[in-house]
Amino acid sequence: MNKKKAKLIYKHNSFDIIEDGEYVLCAVSGKEIMLKNLNYWNVDLQEAYFSPEEVNKRVKNLKKQS
């Protein structure tokens, strides 16, 4: 069975599903994140993260760019 990638709008405490699907991709690692397991995202960048490890990597990278 083929899984379908969802399109979301990330809000501060929730997200809106723009296109139905089962998963989104982590912006750092590229790993699939099932929507039921999606816990980490950045509202300003509108991107999802697989785990706190990926969040930390993104934050460090953003600080380097500043």
Whole-number Å distance between alpha carbons of 11 and 9: 6
Per residue in 26-57, pLDDT (tens digit) is 999 999 999 999 999 999 999 999 999 999 99
| Residue at 2 is within a domain | no
pLDDT averaged over every residue in the chain: 96
Whether 9 shows a pLDDT value over 90: the answer reads: yes
Report yes or no on 54 lying in a domain.
Answer: yes
Share of the chain above pLDDT 70, in %: 98
Question: Is residue 37 a part of any domain in this protein?
Answer: yes
Distances in whole angstroms, Cα of residue 56 to Cα of each of 3, 15, 61: 28, 21, 9
In a domain, 1, yes or no: no
Rounded alpha-carbon distances, angstroms, from residue 4 to 44, 59, 64, 66: 25, 28, 34, 36
pLDDT of residue 44: 96
Q: Is the pLDDT confidence value at 1 over 70?
A: no
How many domains does the chain divide into? 1
Q: Does the residue 21 lie in any domain?
A: yes
Main-chain phi, psi angles of 42, to 5 degrees: -120, 120
The boundaries of the domain holding residue 25 are: 7-65
